[in-house]
Amino acid sequence: MRWSWVGLLAVVLACAEAPRPVQTKTRWPVEEVAFTVRTVDPAGQPVPGVALVARGADRGSLVIKSGTTDATGTARLQVMPGWYVLQAEAAGFVSVTRTDARVPVTGEARLDVTLERAAPIAGRVVDAAGKPVAWATLRLRRSNETVSVPETQSDAEGRFRFDGVPAGSVMLQAEKYKWSPTRLELVAPAPELTVVMGGPGSLRVQVRGPDGQPLSGGPFSISSMDDFVSMDDMSPDELSPEEAQDATVFPQLPAGRYSISGRYTPVPGCEWTRGIVVQVLPGQQAEATVSFEGLHDAGPWRGRAVDANGKALDHGTVTAWWADEEPHGLGLSGRCKGVVGQDGSFAIPHVFKAPVLLTWEVTEGARGREARGPFPTGTGEAVVFRSVIGSLKGRVVRPDGQPVGFFEVNGLSPNNPRGEYVRYVDLTHTYQWVIDVWGFAPVLVRAQGREGEVLQVPDVVLEEGRTVHGRVFASNGRTGVPHQEVELMEEFDLDGNGRPRSRWAMTDAEGRFELKHVPGRRQFLRVASKEHGTVLHALETNETAARLRLVPNAELHGFVTDGAQVPLAGVNLEVRCEGGFKMSARSDGSGHYAMNIPADRECFVHPEGSPLNLRPPRPPQPPPVFFSSTRLRVPSGSRQSSDFEPRQGPASLEVSVEATLEFVTAFVLPGDVAWPRSPEALDALMRAGFGADPMPNTWESEDGSESFVPHFLLGADFRFSHLPLGHYTVFIRDEMDGADAILRIPVELTRTGVHVIKSARPGRGGGRPYTR
């Protein structure tokens, strides 16, 4: 076989572009080391026969080692260096969990565990007549959550027993289906207990009108005010009311506090409501009256509805609202409607005091206008109604001026045959959106929106756009890269900090690609290949051909440790680079990680998470660790080592924003960081800034059930733990449609402990706008 120099060169170049595996050289020993645990009682005497279990502290770890202490109270466990949760159990002693058991690589680790002698609690569960209550569930709640006492049940004789109970104050709770729950506060050790459980109670509710006469229908809502009584767990029999002598009876309610609401309806469209609290006792019937007696009808309350320019609102409906400022729906509230006449006049027929809010709407549920009190006397004066929310109205047309029936605005279709669309705005600033129509170039629209105003924006006239041809080459500049995705990006979308809007094409066997209907404004072509590298190309306004040459990745590897030669497993490391390139890896059992990252670009490594499980503490979790970001720039084709340790500091920073997590985020940078000068500079700060501690969104209630709240519905509360003393800059970002509002807050941490910052939402509290 004869080789040509040209063919041989092509083969060599192609081989040179093959991916190089990341080496996993480690300086940690791969063998297990001895972990010696010694157990003693409070007097320092050894405790033999203690069952020990060591579980890897990283999330989802399956590493479990076990052993039993000998006559000297000592056990030697062979484990890999790392972080463990150690549990110790022995008959007659309180179970102990040590969540911070660390085994270094430098030699044998030792841990002394003191076991407290158990104070068992036993007794009987009986009813009011002293008869045993079998199969009741009993739980103990302690202040020390590291002590585990499993729940138990009463037997056929009503007897129960808890072993391994710590001395001190505990709360005993007994529950059984169709019985009222019982709580007892006691101090362990305790004498033989008698826990008396009562059957369900009953509740008789009567609702009386202003004239003192009973109203039909009874209460319209009932809810428990005790966290250990769940309405969701009640059977239909418990919540099914019975009608009896102008009253409503709930015959099977667990004992506890309940909020009851009644309603009085003078005429259709008007209703007054009142909420009260009632206590239900076991085996007894409680009486409750929701009364509107003494309320005087002060209607009609009159006014004239006008807009901000004084023009009468000559149609629609006005609704008056009023309410007492009491929690849990208690107290007096109400609403009543009135029709608006041709001159804007309206009359609210039945009110018991001046309203606090008036709303105007054309159709029920539509976005309308509102007016907030205090109001004039209610004798016909003009009331100015302002728009609840502003809007920007526009239209999409073809080049011939004909409306487009189907189009998308930021990925959502109004499906309007007249080509009309509306963008609702709730703050005064510049909004931005992209309109997509099949067969045409995407159109970028920017317009100034004003809170409470309806504004018209110019028509969007579609254009076919340009066709861009290109080819993706390997780093040698000659070899095409086949089957590679090429993204077409807006500049403001590169870092993924707004609504994602990318278009893409796939290269053919020779690395060629084609993108049609590309807009005439500046765009970016982005390629991220794990095997061949990355490239980011600015596609200028008139450019129709692009030659993309990939820059080979670099190799980044290292270890994550606690700073004291203890490897941390299961830590996620995310690399964020300019141009929106992101890579990630996870430390293994030895704390080692390795990954390919974009080369010749400014990047920041964010070790995220820790040996922390955000779910309820089953099993117990170790104390969390937190990291700061690290900047790096690695040459193409090189291999760089970088180790990471949690930050250590005596201060914490709490940032509370009057908003939810749906739109608001916060990040911190060390030092005095200036305002970013552009959206791109803001993106760079967000790449560098380290985020807040992970927030749990799942909780365990006292009865052992779980409660879940989606993260975006949580309050915008952020905590940054273990910060060294010094100067920091906090940025709060309010992500709005096509724009950001930013607050910059310098902070000087001069003392240990928690520093608290309370802030309004940046979009409403003086934030600086950044239109993307």
For residues 38 and 76, membership in a common domain is answered with: yes
Which is higher by pLDDT, 719 or 226? 719
Structure confidence at residue 710 (pLDDT):
62
Structure confidence at residue 708 (pLDDT):
58
For residues 771 and 654, membership in a common domain is answered with: yes
Please tell me the distance from the alpha carbon of residue 658 to that of residue 649, in angstroms, as a whole number: 28
Structure confidence at residue 724 (pLDDT):
96
Residue 129 has pLDDT above 80, yes or no: yes
For residues 423 and 470, membership in a common domain is answered with: no
For residues 476 and 433, membership in a common domain is answered with: no
Structure confidence at residue 8 (pLDDT):
30
Judge if the upstream peptide bond of residue 300 is cis by omega within 30 degrees of 0: yes
Which phi and psi angles does 610 have, rounded to 5°? -175, 180
Which is higher by pLDDT, 390 or 616? 390
For residues 188 and 278, membership in a common domain is answered with: no
Q: Which of 266, 291, 316 is the last residue of a domain?
A: 291
Smallest CA-to-CA distance from 758 within 652, 651, 655, 653 is with 655
User: Residue 456's domain is classified under what CATH number?
Assistant: 2.60.40.1120
Which is higher by pLDDT, 424 or 53? 53
749 in any annotated domain: yes
577 in any annotated domain: no
For residues 382 and 395, membership in a common domain is answered with: no
For residues 378 and 395, membership in a common domain is answered with: no
Residue 53 has pLDDT above 80, yes or no: yes
Structure confidence at residue 712 (pLDDT):
58
For residues 226 and 281, membership in a common domain is answered with: yes
* Contact (Cβ atoms closer than 8 angstroms) between residue 396 and residue 414: no
85 in any annotated domain: yes
For residues 476 and 544, membership in a common domain is answered with: yes
For residue 489, give its domain range: 466-549
Where helices occur in 545-691 by DSSP H, the ranges are 679-688
183 in any annotated domain: yes
> pLDDT by residue (tens digit) across 342-357?
999 999 998 888 898 9
Structure confidence at residue 241 (pLDDT):
74
For residues 490 and 454, membership in a common domain is answered with: no
Angle at 752 between CA 750 and CA 753, to 5 degrees: 125
> pLDDT by residue (tens digit) across 543-560?
999 999 999 999 999 999
User: Residue 507's domain is classified under what CATH number?
Assistant: 2.60.40.10
* DSSP string of 522-535, one letter each residue: -EEEEEEETTTEEE
644 in any annotated domain: no
> pLDDT by residue (tens digit) across 609-629?
654 444 444 556 777 889 999
Which is higher by pLDDT, 41 or 183? 41
508 in any annotated domain: yes
What is the count of structural domains for the chain? 7
Residue 236 DSSP one-character state: H
764 in any annotated domain: yes
Structure confidence at residue 429 (pLDDT):
80
Residue 102 has pLDDT above 80, yes or no: yes
> pLDDT by residue (tens digit) across 646-667?
999 999 999 999 888 888 999 9
* Contact (Cβ atoms closer than 8 angstroms) between residue 551 and residue 475: yes
Q: Which of 270, 291, 312 is the last residue of a domain?
A: 291
For residues 525 and 487, membership in a common domain is answered with: yes
| Tokens 């949580």, residue located | 714
Name residue 446's beta-bridge partners: 432
Q: Which of 338, 371, 387 is the last residue of a domain?
A: 387
Structure confidence at residue 522 (pLDDT):
94
Residue 327 DSSP one-character state: G
Smallest CA-to-CA distance from 530 within 20, 11, 23, 14 is with 20
Which phi and psi angles does 195 have, rounded to 5°? -100, 115
296 in any annotated domain: no
* Contact (Cβ atoms closer than 8 angstroms) between residue 608 and residue 97: no
